Every structure is written in structure tokens, then in C-alpha cells.
Amino acid sequence: MTDLLSTLNPDQLAAVTAPASALVLAGAGSGKTRVLTTRIAWLIQTNQVSPMGLMAVTFTNKAAKEMLTRLTSMLPINTRGMWVGTFHGLCNRLLRTHHREAGLPQLFTILDSSDQLSAVKRVLRALNVDTETYDPRKVQSFINQNKEAGLRADKVEAWDTYSRHLVEYYAAYDAQIHREGAVDFAELLLRAYELLSRNALLREHYQARFRHILVDEFQDTSRLQYLWLKLLKGPESSLFAVGDDDQSIYAFRGANVGNMRQLMDDLDIAAPIKLTRNYRSVSVILDAANAVISRNQGRLGKDLWTDVGQGELIRHFQAADDNEEARFLVEEIQARKLDGDAYIDQAVLYRSNAQSRSIEHALFSASIPYRVYGGQRFFERAEIKHALAYLRLAAFPEDDNAFLRVVNFPARGIGARGLEALDTEARAAGVSLWAAACGAGKKFAPFVTLIESLKNGIVGLPLMEQVEHVVARSGLLEFYQNEKDGEDRVENLNELANAAAGFAAESDDQSLEAFLGHAALEAGEHAAAQGEDAVQLMSVHSAKGLEFQTVFITGLEEGLFPHENARNEADGLEEERRLMYVAITRARRQLYLTHAQQRMLHGQIRYNSPSQFLAEIPENLVRSHAFRTSRPAPKPVPVARVEHYHPRPVPRREASLPYKVGARVMHPKYGEGVVAAYQGQGAEMEIKVIFPKVGDKWFILEYARLTAVGA
């Protein structure tokens, strides 16, 4: 018999051999997956349960496959047929087995998000609904939010005419997909919950079958998921939940961190079993993480520790702006590569996906391969490709690829049949799709008029304003503003204008055509494949569950990280702090924290104070880092001990200087700009000004020809 328990530490052993229901509070890097898998193997090996008599719930198919692979390496068992999978996967299995009792056809279909949206649109069309007032995506979101809360249309409270109509459309949608024998993703869980709620015989059957239910990432469960688990747990069975309330970062997806305390109350669990020994990071990193997360209220409470050593101090760098921040990252990544750290062992984390653009550009310029984990590189993102296609058509309407990408995006009633006819006509005449569309009549007339308007509207505008004009007037910005979870895409579209400004500041050729060529090059080169030695770029949300030798946490500024949206949410700041905790604990050996005095975001220069999370890390764990560059680094601004959000102050300089950093000034050639920094002394003093239309410029102060705006 394999000795499964000999290598476990005392806390892991207590968790694996817990005699009844238990909540395991598993800190980052503490061996959570090992504990969960070993418990399954131990239960089977000691004949407490058969492989078919337990259920293990994960949040991803990848995690489920990893669990089964580990299990077969521990025990000589056949895992085929075991109930191990995601909530949606297991609910699908339950409903397929009992489709009659669930009121579903045997071969019911599952609608993905796109299919569901199409179904919503058909319902609204049948009801003659004005989709300007009731956007199909918002109706879809309303339906899903209520299903995920366990509410059918007849249980949803309507408080005004608008919400009463939404409830009506929800009911009509449910009736339609029921007639068609289909279910959406939210319906899988709700239908499975309803099935067990009303069918006592079936419920008792599964309660008797599954004597042990094990749940991974319990802090990410929603209210309905927890209620479903409670239905499955019988009076003689145990529920073994593993999670970490300090890593609950998915409230926007419905995760309810309160389920952990609720579980303890419901099952009379006196205290959680805590896994606090970390096998990943050095002490300095864990001490910083513990200090930050200790500010959150209502935690179940734990402090991570390790015996792998103290490690190097955390390195903190304050940049003058986001471009200097990106250059610093490049220099340190290259230095660590020379010191033996592979690129793939280094990760750059950011709170907002739009931040990746300046970092990608700096890596591209330095010929450093990189990969955007859990997402696409900036110039490969769908919304950016759409915007570039509109820009290409404004510059060169004969581009057939650009034409096909956006002729019906956002939707304007041009279907596949109409495009096929247009293509046939264009081929027969030997002309471009654009030329054929110009003579194709009223179906394509609105699109032709739009492109002509864009083309005429950008004449004479600086490059950045050309991009802003096309993004706004094409309809893309409005489309993504109205889309569920479209905030990131809107930020990326705004960042495209910043990319144009940066290109204009660095290039002799500031034409739209040159910028489009530059975008194509950045999209097509240095695209590292999975597993290739490349720097890993990702949002903090995407980083959960991963680890790297070196981690750079960027953009640590008030309003960015913590995000400004956190102010409007009850648990917002605490969830942002949990995000910071997750980010810190991704690092094994070295951690960098960076921020900028000013940053170009959403087409505007923003002056942000350092993130309060920086102030929450003890000073003895951090050392400031000088940037070895041709221009001297700015004097670091002391990190204030901040407890709450404050208005973002403009950085201040000595009163003897003619303009404060942040002041608006006018230049006779470049127009209005903002003072960014000074360097040098006396007659050699230089001033840096950022002009929205042309980018950064340095002047010898004496000859700068600047005047204060309003003077």
C-alpha cells in the first residue's frame, strides 16, 4: 500500500485525515492541490469510499484533469466515470442523466454566450422591442444575473416600468429556449438546483451516493453554487472545502467570500484548518503580503511563513511617467536575463489590460520576446483590430480585408448573402469590394457614407486626434460602452490614441499610413509561442494560480491599483487589497513594485499619488531602485501613509521654478502641453513638457518659449 501521508507537514496531515466536514484555509503556495488530491486518494485507499462514491468540484476543466492525473499517480485506480469536474460540467451530467425529471429533451443543446445573445435578439425582435432603449446585451446580462442568483422571472422584483419590461423579456426568453430544447450556461446550474430541490427521491439518492463532496477554490463559489452543494450533502456525508478568503478576487463574477463563514455556521465547524507554510516564496515577500492583507476586516485570519530564507529586499521604483516605467522594466528584465533568470521566469503584472500597450512597445523595441498570458497582445485584440480596420479604410478604402472586418461591425444589417453577392460583383468587374459597394445601392450606402465621413473628418488633424476621431465616429466606442464587461475594451480603444501619440513623438513620419505599418509590425513580430522563453505579461486576475521567479507589479497608483471603481462598491477596497495580495504572492525570489508620477490613460494625462498599498508594506522590506538611464531619475516622492482615497495631487516642485509640474503651458509651435519634469541646474536646467499632439519634448528652460496658459 502506497504511503500517502509520509511527506505531508502536520497541517496538511490534519486536513487530509479530517474525520468529518472541514474548511481548509489554504494560503498561497501552501500545497492546496496536493492536500485535496491526497485526501481523495486516502479516502479511497482506506476504504472509506469508492471512486464512484465521491464528488470533487473544481472551477476549471484544466484543474479537474490535473486532479485526475495526480490521483492515478498515487493509486492504481480507473478514474473513468468519477464525478470530478466543474460546476457547469457536473450539472450538465446530472441533467443529461435525468432529463425527463428536469423537463428537458434528451439531446438538449447548450447555448454559449454568442448563441444566447442571438436568442435574446430574436425574442426582442418578436416582441417589437426598441433595441436602442433595451440593448440586447443588457437584457442578456439581466437574465444571467438573476439566474445566477437563483431567480426565475416570476420571482424577480420589478420597481419601475423599465425593470418590468426586463422581467417580461426574461420570461419570454425562457419560454423560447424551453420550446427549442436549449439551456444557457446559467440555466445549467439553476435547472440542476431546481431539480434536486423539488425531487426528494432523486436528492436522497445522490446524498446517499456521494458520501464525500470535495470543493476546490471555495472562496470563488456563488450563492447558488453553495446552495446546490448544500442540497447534495446528506446527513451522513461530509463536505470538504478548500479555499482562501484572502484570494477571493472574483466578486464581479458572483463569487461570495461570505460562503466560507456560512459553511462554518451551517456545518458547525468550530475553526478552519489552516495551511500557512508556504513552499513558494522567500520571507521578505511573505512578510509584505501578510502586512498588506492584515488591513482587511473580517478575515478568517492567517500569516504565511517559510523556511527557505529571507531573500533580497523588494525593489521599488518611481518613474516620471509610464514610458520611463516601461524602460525601467526592460532594463531590469535584461539584467536578470544576464544573471541567469530566463525570460519565461519573469512576469509583468498590471491592474488594467490597457497598461500593457506601453510595456509591449518597450519590449518590442528592445527585441525581447513576450507573451500575453490569458489574453491577446495589444494590437491583436479584437477591438483594436476593428479600430485599425476603420483607420485603414479611412486612409485606403480599397483594402478588402479591412472592409470585410467592419462592414457589418457594429451590426448594420449586412448579412452573409449580401456580402457574397457583393464579392461576386466585385470579382466580375475586377474592382475592390469598396468600389463595388459604392455602386451597390441602399444596402451599403450607410457604410459608404460613414467611411467617406471618416476620411474627410481626419484631414489636417494630428495623428492622435485622427485615431480619436475614427474610434468615436465609427460607432466602436459606443458599442463597447454598451457591452457587458466592455470596460477593458473601451480602455484599450482609448489606449490606441496614446499609442499613436507615442509613435508620433518617436517617428519622423507621423502619417496615419506610417502608424498603421508600425501597428502591423508590432502585431506580427515577437509573438512568442506557449512554452517559448518569453517574458510573461498579464493582468493580476490572470496571474492567480501562477508563480514566477521574478514579478514586476506595475502601475501602483491611486485610482489605478487600487482601481477607482473600488470607491463605489461596498467591499471594493478590500477586494483590491486581496488582488494586491495575490500579485505579491506570485513571486518566488524577487519582487519589483513600480509606479509613475504621471500616466497617459484614456487619452488624458493623469497625475496619481502612489498607491496606498505601497504604504502598507513595512519600510524595512523595501529599497528604492535607481534607474540607470541617460536622464537622471526623478527624486522619489515619499509614500504617504494613506488609509482612504484622496484626490490625486499634482506633484510639486520648488517655488523658485517658473512652472509647477502639472501646470499647463503654451508653446508657439507645439501648442498646449503639461509640464512633466525638470533636470539640471542654472543655465543648463531643462524642462520636460508633454504635448497631447506630439508627445514629450525637452527644452533648455532659458530658451523654451513657454507661457503659462491664461497668462
Identify any residues that bridge with 548 across adjacent strands, giving them in sequence order: 587
Nearest of 494, 501, 461, 507 to residue 692 by alpha carbon: 501
Please give the Cα distance from 333 to 386 (Å, whole number): 32
Q: How many residues does the chain have?
A: 711
The pLDDT score that the predictor gives to residue 523 is 63
CB atoms within 10 A of CB 209: 16
247 is catalytic: yes
Contact 196, 206 (CB under 8 A): yes
Tell me if 527 sits within 8 A of 377, measured CB to CB: yes
**DSSP letter at 563?**
B
* Pairing mode, strands 695-700 and 686-691: antiparallel
Nearest to 42 by CA among 78, 1, 91: 1
d(CA 123, CA 135): 12
Residue of 211, 381, 405, 586 marked active site? 586
The single residue listed with the C-alpha cell 541567469 is 340
Please list the ranges in the chain whose pLDDT falls under 70: 1-2, 484-485, 521-531, 601-604, 625-656, 680-684, 693, 710-711
Gap between the Cα atoms of 128 and 126, Å rounded: 6
Residues 6 or more apart whose CB falls under 8 angstroms from that of 456 comprise: none
Strand partners, 315: 592, 623
Per-residue model confidence (pLDDT) at position 627? 53
pLDDT of residue 529: 61
Peptide bond before 410: cis, by omega within 30 degrees of 0?
Answer: yes
**The one catalytic residue among 32, 147, 302, 577:** 32
What is this structure's pTM?
A: 0.75
Element (H, E) at 136: helix 136-148
Question: Is 669 among the catalytic positions?
Answer: no
Rounded to 5°, the CA angle 331-380-422 comes to 155
Q: Alpha-carbon distance 617 to 343, whole Å? A: 27
Beta strands in 582-670 (DSSP E): 587-601, 604-607, 622-624, 664-667
Grid cell for residue 345 = 521566469
**Has 481 been annotated as catalytic?**
no
> Which positions ≥6 away from 575 have C-beta within 8 Å?
248, 249, 251, 566, 569
Largest Cα–Cα separation, the chain: 90
In angstroms, the first-to-last Cα distance of the chain is 86
299 has catalytic annotation: no
Catalytic residue among 207, 221, 247, 598: 247
User: What pLDDT does 195 receive?
Assistant: 96
Is 145 designated active site?
Answer: no
33, 60, 176, 262: the catalytic one is 33
Which residue is listed with cell 479600430? 387
Instruction: Please report the pLDDT score of residue 671 as a whole number.
Output: 82
CA neighbor of 584 nearest in space, from 255, 325, 246:
246
Set 148, 187, 217, 332: catalytic member = 217
